[in-house]
Structure 1
Amino acid sequence: MASTQATREVFINSTIQVARKYGFHGVDLVWVFPKDAAEMSNLALLYKEWRKALNNEPRVTGKPRLLLTSAVYYASKFTFYGGPRSYPAGAISKYLDWANPMCYDYHGSWENFIGMNTALDDSNSNISTRYGIGSWIEAGVPPKKLVVGLPLYGRTLTLKDSKVNGIGAPALGVGSWDGVLVYHQIVHFNKRTNDGVRSVNVKVRCEVVGLGRILLLGSGPVQ
């Protein structure tokens, strides 16, 4: 879709039509994730042409301008598909109303060890929200254009050994509840098993339970 001007135009026009038809306040792009420098360049062009179309549309319709936002990786630079790449921070700053860094799914059942679903800090790696948001600011995106995406769900994994249950402990894959608990399930679970819950870090929160299962929660206690 983003590889040519013609296909970008068709896509952009269709998003505006849908947004107006259903009374949306704007459009939000989730591209997970541009795989190389060429796709990052096309992403920048898409943002630019989208912004131009959104600015022009109210002159014809007389309606308020639609917002343009985009969900992005938690950090401005990352390595997927075997190579490093960087988001077009300049285009994001210039053309988006704001960006939504996805500060979650840092670790999960795709790994063979226990890690945080989300984490404010991680002294052992750059997989943390503090690092990610800092990288966006360092790349030139104003803080006022960054909206941190936080998870309202927890992840479960099966421990290899229920007696070894800290961060970094060996895991065998998806745990109970198909690997994910949504917020209301976490609240209910905490009410039933509060005695078996322990916090392992003051800046991030991990709740460990028996039966060889572990819950990975977002950040801070459930209120």
Structure 2
Amino acid sequence: MDKYDILILLLLGISANHVVFSEKILVCYYGTWATYRNGLGKFDVDDINTDLCTHLVYTFVGINNEGTVISLDPWLDLGENYGRDNFRKFNALKLNNPKLKTILAVGGWNEGSAKYSVMAANPIFRQNFIRSALKMVLDHGFDGLDIDWEYPNRRDSVHGQADVNNFSQLIVELKEALNEYGLLLTAAVASVEEMASLSYDIPVISQYLDIISIMAYDMYGSWDAVTGHNSPLHKGEGDDGVARETLYTVDMALKYWLRQGCPPEKLVLGMPLYGRTFTLVNPNINSVRAPASGPGLAGPYTATNGFIGYNELCIRFQSESWNIRNDNLAKVPYAVRDRNWVSFDNKESLIKKVEYALSLNIAGAMVWSIETDDLHGLCGDGDFSLLRAINDALDRNIDVSTENVPSSTTIPSSSSTPATSTTISSSPSTTTSTILSSTSPIIPSSTPFTTSSTTPTTPSTTPSTPSTTPSTTLSTTASYSTTTIKVPETFVCRSEGFAPDPESCTSFYICVRNVNGILVPRKFQCPDNLFWDQKNLHCNYKELVDCIV
């Protein structure tokens, strides 16, 4: 599907509901693996301060080879088999702060790009992804889904340039499904022009995403032959003469996304709560862009050469002799000790970034990630000192008088629909539905209620596993049509979920509760004379479905 197809969808009224935030937002990513860290670096869900963020993002879930969203750490995420049940605990945080939104992130750096490239190119796998993602989000009480594909058309991508349109198509179809439940669709994206221009059709995805967090960090790191700032606000010391295509700054990233048509009210500036470390070739040559031989020191908790959490670094500043300098042009600090060179952010640099971002009237800020802030206030500025500084710069009036909800707090089960995800208010007799139909035999089922335990049934000519080349039996570009159907008053919902149409094999109902708690039927028409498959909960070829009406 190209941008003209998507424009037609917009004209037909399929575009996303426009989300307007009443205050500047602060999106906070939580790295769940911090549960496994030792000593003062250990950080559980129960340790999260619910007042310091407007949106909390749980990282990460992944996908299997057929696009189905899966837990990457079931013992941590789920409660079965004596697991830690972190999905439930994370969403229970909203009982302490009802304004808080929780979002489930899928992807991340370690997931790579290949599986996502294959999934987005295959209509069946896209529907696997959409159905399973929606089920996981709703079953566990999240308020939205965050897409963190790193990155379309980069790294180990299978389909290369085709990823760009495929990613756009995935976002369109996801938003259609999530809109049924009032759920947020967000994404973390590459920030600088050199990278973002390879991966995204920015005008298209900006129409459908509610929050777009540009990851304005990792601009320089130990993979470079010289030292550089992790997240410089502006062009800095030593940058004169650097080719523009290799000069990365927060300022340039923000302006690029805005220039490409991203609405400022959706754009969020991602900032790091960590530093990048280098080893100097010569300790006496230690300015910005000094020769470096590779990664520098690792922190005791994150234990990764070339990377150090702010909580790990600020303790070193207290116990060791460091030369801390400010790059007055880039508006960020760096520190030198012997052959160790560290680029990092502190309260002052983060405040400057927020102030600059607000001057562009964007939606707010994002941080990666909360578990590397000064969690315990050991560096003299109180706990979560960086997050508090960002909140002050955003002019958020935070209330920190209440304690976090204990882990034993019970949240509603998946059978109840939270008010925040209810979007249907029309009466049963007038409820209408719009459905995207594609060349795939399967359409989005958009349900949290039940899923098939097996791979969705497909014709025997369809490959059961992804290949490294586009399938010849499946179109990688869907064609779309719009069908609106009035629901007859004679159909009565018996329970939430899917129901076959007793009068037609080619249509079906989804029963959802409206804002008054009343079950409302919404009728959908399968595309291309496909039959509704109640067993597998998708539209299928008629020879594969038992239907008698």
For 2:219, give the aligned amino acid. Y
Query: Are the structure 2 counterparts of residues 194 and 24 from structure 1 closer, same or farther at C-alpha, using a change threshold of 3 Å?
Result: farther
Query: Are the structure 2 counterparts of residues 195 and 182 from structure 1 closer, same or farther at C-alpha, using a change threshold of 3 Å?
Result: closer
In the TM superposition, what is the alpha-carbon distance from 1:86 to its structure 2 partner? 5.3
Equivalent in the alignment of 1:190: 317
Query: Are the structure 2 counterparts of residues 13 and 106 from structure 1 closer, same or farther at C-alpha, using a change threshold of 3 Å?
Result: same
Give the Cα separation in 2 of the matches to 1:195 and 1:120. 23
In the TM superposition, what is the alpha-carbon distance from 1:32 to its structure 2 partner? 1.0
Q: What SS does the corresponding residue of 2:271 show, helix, strand or coil?
A: coil
Equivalent in the alignment of 2:296: 175
Map 1:22-41 → 2, pairs under 5 A: 22-35=140-153, 36-41=160-165
Equivalent in the alignment of 2:185: 68
1:55 correspondence with 2:173: no
In the TM superposition, what is the alpha-carbon distance from 1:179 to its structure 2 partner? 1.8
Equivalent in the alignment of 1:61: none
Q: Which of the pair is proportionally richer in helix? A: 1
CA contact (8 A) 1:78 1:86 kept: no
In the TM superposition, what is the alpha-carbon distance from 1:91 to its structure 2 partner? 2.0
Query: Are the structure 2 counterparts of residues 101 and 138 from structure 1 closer, same or farther at C-alpha, using a change threshold of 3 Å?
Result: same
Map Cα deviations across residues 9-64 of structure 1 (whole Å, 9 max, x no partner). 110111111111221110000111111431010000000000111123x3xxxxxx
Give the Cα separation in 2 of the matches to 1:73 and 1:182. 21
Q: How many residues get paired?
A: 212
RMSD: 2.0
Equivalent in the alignment of 1:199: 326
Equivalent in the alignment of 1:62: none
Query: Are the structure 2 counterparts of residues 85 and 195 from structure 1 closer, same or farther at C-alpha, using a change threshold of 3 Å?
Result: closer
Map Cα deviations across residues 145-190 of structure 1 (whole Å, 9 max, x no partner). 1111111001111000000001110000011112211121122122
CA contact (8 A) 1:92 1:99 kept: no
In the TM superposition, what is the alpha-carbon distance from 1:194 to its structure 2 partner? 6.2
For 2:144, give the aligned amino acid. G
Query: Are the structure 2 counterparts of residues 172 and 42 from structure 1 closer, same or farther at C-alpha, using a change threshold of 3 Å?
Result: same
Matching residue within 287, 304, 307 for 1:166: 287
1:44 correspondence with 2:44: no
Q: What is the TM-score of this pair, normalised by structure 1?
A: 0.87
Equivalent in the alignment of 1:78: 194
Equivalent in the alignment of 2:128: 10
Q: Which is greater in Rg?
A: 2
Give the Cα separation in 2 of the matches to 1:94 and 1:205. 33
For 1:168, give the aligned amino acid. R
Give the Cα separation in 2 of the matches to 1:201 and 1:110. 25
Q: What SS does the corresponding residue of 1:176 show, helix, strand or coil?
A: coil
Give the Cα separation in 2 of the matches to 1:86 and 1:135. 14
In the TM superposition, what is the alpha-carbon distance from 1:198 to its structure 2 partner? 2.0
Matching residue within 268, 271, 275 for 1:150: 271
For 1:150, give the aligned amino acid. M
For 1:116, give the aligned amino acid. H
Equivalent in the alignment of 2:429: none
Give the Cα separation in 2 of the matches to 1:195 and 1:165. 12
For 2:323, give the aligned amino acid. G
Q: What SS does the corresponding residue of 2:270 show, helix, strand or coil?
A: coil
Q: What SS does the corresponding residue of 1:209 show, helix, strand or coil?
A: strand
Query: Are the structure 2 counterparts of residues 198 and 79 from structure 1 closer, same or farther at C-alpha, using a change threshold of 3 Å?
Result: closer
For 1:74, give the aligned amino acid. S
For 1:29, give the aligned amino acid. I
Unaligned runs of 5+ in 1: 59-64
Which 4+ stretches in 1 moved above 4 angstroms?
Answer: none
Map 1:127-142 → 2, pairs under 5 A: 127-142=248-263
Larger CA deviation: 43-52 vs 121-130: 121-130
Q: What SS does the corresponding residue of 1:190 show, helix, strand or coil?
A: helix
For 1:16, give the aligned amino acid. L
